[in-house]
Structure 1
Amino acid sequence: MSGKKEASNSTLRLSKLMSERGLCSRREADEYIAKGLVRVNGEIVKELGTKVTPDVRISLEAEALKKQKKLVTIIVNKPIGYVSGQPEPGYEPAIRLINDRNQFGQQKRILQRGDLQGLAVIGRLDIDSQGLLLFSQDGRLAKKIIGENSEIEKEYIVRVHYLGPEGRLPDSKLKLLNHGLSIEGQALLPAKVEWINEDQLRFILKEGKKRQIRKMCEQVGLQVKGLKRVRIGKLALGKLPEGRWRFIEEDEEI
């Protein structure tokens, strides 16, 4: 480990390594380091920008672990017309749905002012899509769901209309939806795509490129008439009404 000394090529910032290991986000790591809540090889580190080798032992102090347990994660059933991230002219961001009036169910916890601080969307839905949208203060969860090596499934119900001359999407094109398409020259990971009924497909993806499903459908001659996310990992939208939200309980897995 080194402080202000120039690091060798084999070292990297402690906060980056903590993020890569899934201990917390880089922002959270910097906060914990500044407060003296991080140990490297058994020693407290307080200097931001500290460089370490990739094989060091990293642990968090009890105060940091306790704080992580209090981090809030919220599920929203986003309606069409709301944007997931920053507000756009004429449209409202979905985070504004998270208020006292819209909380669903008889939950033990009620919304506190601090619950909205640092709350970030995980896996966006475009303005014309609806369904399960997650907001969380927990950088570890964000990495788990949308990180580069994420294995978390995202399930969507997509209502489509086939524009081709065959009358119905050929099996060969359905196979392409499952594997073989690319977006902007980058091959897509294998997906699971199957018919639910005559005009609805189920898509299960492990990635989430911008407007990916719409672009996939366009490439095989399908027009998307409706798109709804119903599951992320083990977390299903369930009976949560449109426009309502609830806290994720401690015993729920994603």
Structure 2
Amino acid sequence: MTDRNLPQDDAVRLAKRVAAQFGCSRREAELYVEGGGVLVDGQPIEESGARVHPQQQVALRPGARPEEIPPVTLLLHKPPGYEAGLGGAPANAYGHAHASRSQGAPPALQLLHPDSRHAGDGPPVRLLHKHFRNLSCHTPLPTEASGLVVFTQDARVARKLAQDIETLEQECIVQVAGRIAEGGLARLCHGLEFNGRPLPPIKVSWQSEQRLRFALKGIRPGQVPAMCAAVGLQVTALKRLRIGRVALAPLAEGQWRYLLPWERF
């Protein structure tokens, strides 16, 4: 926050000003700033490197503490047309490569901003700029698909998703076209092969005349459309509703919320 009408040579870093004014260490000053606890001329500033002038008023929010900001996990309802993957261009659930950003698919990460936060996001959490940095995604989803995607700064959550994604049950709603073969629903539940290997039992049920619910573990790229094709159906849309015990509801497309402290995948 710099006033161009003020001389620039007397400006100092905000963290330095906070440390001098409130008698704390430079690191504590940085924590005050990054935690949203510092006001400059009445406005919150979260960049410890911001420059301030002697004429500007610097204050601490009531109750502000110089504490480390815990890492957060954000749950996003990704709309179709956005890329959410681990990098590169792996095959997706439709059996072909993800559209990369160079091919025009924008990253789902760009949907994570203050204005798209879900209004009923549990207990109050002070939204900080730092919450949108260093986020990683370990729950890739096809560009054409929609539904739950997880972005996290928390190494424990990242490790859980990376190590256990094969054993976490995922629930999807699959829009299909065509006419299912006789006995096709039973074969979807058990009896099909994929890539030359028998598939384990899977929970599949009709939600409507053109919508199937899949609940399965260890889903492979292209598996769902291949299963549907084997019984005469074509996948036209796919939406992920749940990963483990964490559900998509009540997020609308493009909205996100914080993973709550008591939620576990």
| Range into which the TM-score falls when normalised by the shorter chain | 0.5 to 0.7
How far does residue 148 in structure 1 lie from its aligned partner after superposition?
Answer: 5.7
CA contact (8 A) 2:165 2:218 kept: no
Give 1:199's aligned residue.
Answer: 210
TM value normalised by structure 1: 0.64
CA contact (8 A) 2:84 2:143 kept: yes
* Inter-partner Cα distance in structure 1 for 2:197 and 2:135: 31
CA contact (8 A) 2:113 2:132 kept: no
* Inter-partner Cα distance in structure 2 for 1:79 and 1:149: 21
Q: What root-mean-square deviation, in Å, do the aligned CA atoms of Structure 1 and Structure 2 show?
A: 2.4
* Inter-partner Cα distance in structure 2 for 1:182 and 1:92: 34
Give 1:169's aligned residue.
Answer: 181
How far does residue 140 in structure 1 lie from its aligned partner after superposition?
Answer: 3.4
Structure 1 residue ranges (4+ consecutive) displaced by more than 4 angstroms after TM superposition: none
How far does residue 221 in structure 1 lie from its aligned partner after superposition?
Answer: 2.0
Indicate whether 1:124 and 2:112 are aligned.
no
How far does residue 93 in structure 1 lie from its aligned partner after superposition?
Answer: 0.7
Distance change (3 Å), C-alpha of 1:83 and 1:149: closer
* Inter-partner Cα distance in structure 2 for 1:210 and 1:168: 22
Unaligned runs of at least 5 residues, structure 2: 1-66, 88-99
* Inter-partner Cα distance in structure 2 for 1:245 and 1:202: 23
Instruction: State the AA in 2 paired with 1:75.
Output: L
Q: How many residues align?
A: 183
Instruction: Give the one of 197, 208, 219 matched to 1:208.
Output: 219
User: Which has the greater radius of gyration?
Assistant: 2
Give 1:185's aligned residue.
Answer: 196
Indicate whether 1:114 and 2:157 are aligned.
no
Indicate whether 1:247 and 2:258 are aligned.
yes
Unaligned runs of at least 5 residues, structure 1: 1-65
How far does residue 239 in structure 1 lie from its aligned partner after superposition?
Answer: 1.7
Give 1:222's aligned residue.
Answer: 233
Indicate whether 1:105 and 2:105 are aligned.
no
CA contact (8 A) 1:146 1:207 kept: no
Residue identity (%): 36
TM value normalised by structure 2: 0.62
* Inter-partner Cα distance in structure 2 for 1:177 and 1:126: 21
Indicate whether 1:76 and 2:76 are aligned.
yes
Distance change (3 Å), C-alpha of 1:210 and 1:168: closer
* Inter-partner Cα distance in structure 1 for 2:148 and 2:167: 18
Distance change (3 Å), C-alpha of 1:169 and 1:144: farther
Deviations 1:108-160 (A, max 9, x none): 22443332333111221101110111111234334434536743211001111
* Inter-partner Cα distance in structure 2 for 1:161 and 1:140: 40
* Inter-partner Cα distance in structure 1 for 2:211 and 2:192: 20
